[in-house]
């Protein structure tokens, strides 16, 4: 018999023995009222139920088991929450107890041993990272100062779309474009400018709608790393799979992380050289420059590794999630042309046709805000949020949750709860008009003390970009076919099929667009 096979059986036996003894030990401590759970398989637990996309699989289980249920995922115990009331309970009554992150092996490989802002455990180190991110890097004042960068990148994107339309083979002034590529490059360019005060470069052969070299490089990193991390990665739950690593998950993660870190090292080194040569932008310092300045006074705290980890978090979180949200919004509008026309009419009435929408306009465009809210309700960028872990015994929905239990909050299910939302799967921006959605739980950026600190920047970017696409262009579906709304897999929720659409500069905005 093959030695590897014998080893697998041995580990399976030991794990099963450990599980049985663990249950007996727990039983001796007294009755524990755990959440309901589906039938489990020895050794694997409920891993056979982990289907992709995971948020949809957990929705189906929640429909059978209720708003709080438990799973045993290999060596880990987890509780899944899928109701607004229980989510509020987790992040208000027990916010401190659930402030930790589970230490996934895959996350350890991409987050410097769990020391990054996203993955670090709750404590002094995390609080310092959070303070730096919220106060030094992503404060309301700094985000307001980024509006000019966002506007410049939006104009550049609009200019490329106009050129593509003018050069269309059919000569009808309409271009077929893959929006995800343009949106990802825009999101990355905004962050490149604000984090490192640098712009992407294009080769001579790049077309008007091709991505810059930096965007291509970083998008490849994101596309490779997202499917390898997250709550649906079975590799994280079975030690035997990590020991043998037949599928090469560890080596694939490390190779991708190496390329990501080389990308970030180049940005940091360039900014350090610029500062040494006397460059100082004062209030407009890049985020890296702010961190390098802090490094001079507290080098033991603001190490290069800490700076790279913070930048990595912001780049990954700020590119994929922002571009995906805008892509989902445009997909929904293309499938609901009446809503698109209504949004254009609002802009024509509120802004006019003599200038492009700005960040200051976005809060006043109530229907555009409704579209954004409805998009985040139906397609939250992180449908399961990021996993939490309990640091103390507590109760959720009347059930006991022991310390060390992983908490999975199914925001996707909460946003589509039929007890809360009328016709929950339908795209109806009007449900948020005139304050009708006030008090209903939307949590696309998380909740509690580990809520995403980049929310303000993300919403500003989404608002200006989506507003520009709606205001400046007429959009049609390719060949008149319904846009495919199939959901992809990963820690975020990308579209399974990238959005392609036909765009044509709006006649009413022609004079403005010609001046770009």
Q: Which residues are annotated as a binding site for heme?
A: 452
Q: Return the residue matching tokens 């790279």.
A: 308
Tokens of 232: 């649906």
Which residue numbers belong to the known binding site?
452
Q: Which of 385, 383, 386, 376 is nearest to 326 (CA)?
A: 376
Tokens of 229: 């991390």
In angstroms, what is the C-alpha Rg of the chain? 24
- Give the total residue count for the chain: 516
Secondary structure of residue 475 in the 3-state scheme? strand
* CA distances (Å), origin 77, targets 45, 70, 71, 198, 306: 9, 7, 6, 45, 31
203 — phi, psi (to 5°)?
-80, 165
457 — phi, psi (to 5°)?
-65, -40
Q: Which residues in 82-198 belong to E strands, given as ranges?
A: 175-178
Tokens of 13: 């036996």
Q: Which helix (H) or strand (E) holds 70?
A: strand 68-73
DSSP state of 234: G
Q: Return the residue matching tokens 């200019």.
A: 159
HSE on the CB side for 432, CA within 13 Å?
20
What is the spatial distance between Cα 25 and Cα 399, in angstroms, rounded to a whole number?
Answer: 19
Cα-Cα-Cα-Cα torsion 146, 147, 150, 155, nearest 10 degrees, comes to -150
What is the spatial distance between Cα 258 and Cα 256, in angstroms, rounded to a whole number?
Answer: 5
Secondary structure of residue 158 in the 3-state scheme? helix
Using the CB atoms, write b or e for 394-414: b if 16+ within 10 Å: bebbebbbbeebbbbbbbbbb
Tokens of 490: 């990963």
Q: Please answer whether residues 358 and 151 qualify as being in contact, where contact means their C-beta atoms are separated by less than 8 angstroms.
A: yes
HSE on the CB side for 172, CA within 13 Å?
7
* Distance spanning both ends of the chain, measured CA to CA: 71
417 — phi, psi (to 5°)?
-70, 115
- Start-end of H helices in 89-146: 105-110, 124-131, 140-145
Task: Kindly give, in sequence order, each residue whose CB lies less than 8 Å from that of residue 70, ignoring residues fewer than 6 positions away.
Answer: 34, 35, 36, 37, 77, 78, 79, 80, 399, 405
């Amino acid at each position: 018999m093959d030695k590897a096979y014998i080893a697998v059986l041995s580990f399976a036996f030991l794990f099963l023995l450990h599980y049985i003894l663990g249950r007996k030990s727990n039983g001796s401590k007294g009755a524990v009222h755990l959440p309901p759970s589906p039938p489990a398989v020895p050794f694997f637990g409920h891993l056979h139920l982990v289907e992709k996309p995971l948020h949809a699989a957990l929705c189906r289980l929640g429909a059978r088991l209720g708003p709080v249920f438990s799973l045993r995922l290999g060596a880990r115990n987890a509780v899944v929450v899928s109701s607004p009331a229980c989510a509020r309970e987790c992040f208000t009554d027990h916010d401190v107890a659930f402030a930790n992150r589970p230490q996934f092996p895959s996350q350890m490989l991409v987050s410097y041993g769990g020391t990054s802002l996203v993955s670090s455990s709750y404590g002094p180190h995390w609080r310092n990272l959070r303070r730096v991110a919220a106060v030094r890097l992503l404060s309301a004042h700094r985000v307001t100062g980024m509006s000019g960068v966002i506007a410049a990148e939006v104009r550049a994107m609009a200019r490329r779309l106009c050129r593509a339309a003018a050069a269309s083979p059919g000569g009808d002034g309409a271009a077929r474009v893959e929006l995800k590529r343009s949106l990802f490059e825009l999101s990355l360019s905004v962050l490149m400018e604000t984090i490192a005060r640098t712009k992407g470069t294009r080769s001579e052969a790049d077309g008007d709608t091709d991505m810059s070299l930096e965007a291509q490089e970083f998008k490849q990193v994101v596309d490779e790393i997202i499917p390898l991390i997250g709550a649906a990665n079975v590799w994280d739950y079975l030690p035997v799979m990590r020991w043998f690593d037949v599928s090469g998950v560890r080596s694939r993660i490390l190779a991708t992380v190496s390329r990501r870190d080389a990308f970030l090292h180049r940005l940091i080194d360039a900014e350090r050289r610029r500062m040494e040569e006397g460059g100082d932008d004062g209030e407009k310092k890049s985020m890296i420059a702010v961190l390098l300045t802090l490094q001079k006074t507290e080098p033991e705290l603001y190490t290069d590794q800490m700076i790279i980890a913070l930048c990595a978090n912001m780049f990954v979180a700020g590119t994929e999630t922002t571009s995906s949200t805008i892509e989902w919004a445009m997909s929904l509008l293309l499938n609901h042309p009446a809503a698109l026309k209504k949004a254009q009419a609002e802009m024509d009435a509120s802004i006019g046709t003599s200038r492009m929408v700005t960040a200051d306009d976005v809060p006043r465009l109530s229907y555009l805000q409704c579209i954004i809210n409805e998009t985040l309700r139906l397609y939250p960028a992180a449908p399961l949020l990021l996993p939490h872990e309990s640091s103390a015994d507590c109760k959720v929905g009347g059930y006991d949750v022991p310390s060390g239990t992983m908490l999975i909050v199914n925001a996707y299910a909460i946003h589509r709860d039929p007890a809360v939302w009328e016709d929950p799967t339908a795209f109806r921006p009007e449900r948020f008009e005139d304050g009708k959605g006030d008090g209903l739980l939307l949590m696309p950026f998380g909740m509690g003390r580990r809520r995403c600190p980049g929310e303000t920047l993300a919403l500003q970017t989404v608002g200006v970009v989506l507003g520009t696409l709606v205001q400046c262009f007429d959009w049609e579906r390719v060949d008149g076919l319904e846009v495919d709304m199939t959901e992809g897999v990963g820690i975020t929720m990308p579209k399974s099929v990238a959005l392609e659409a036909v765009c044509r500069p709006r006649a009413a905005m022609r004079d403005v667009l010609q001046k770009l």
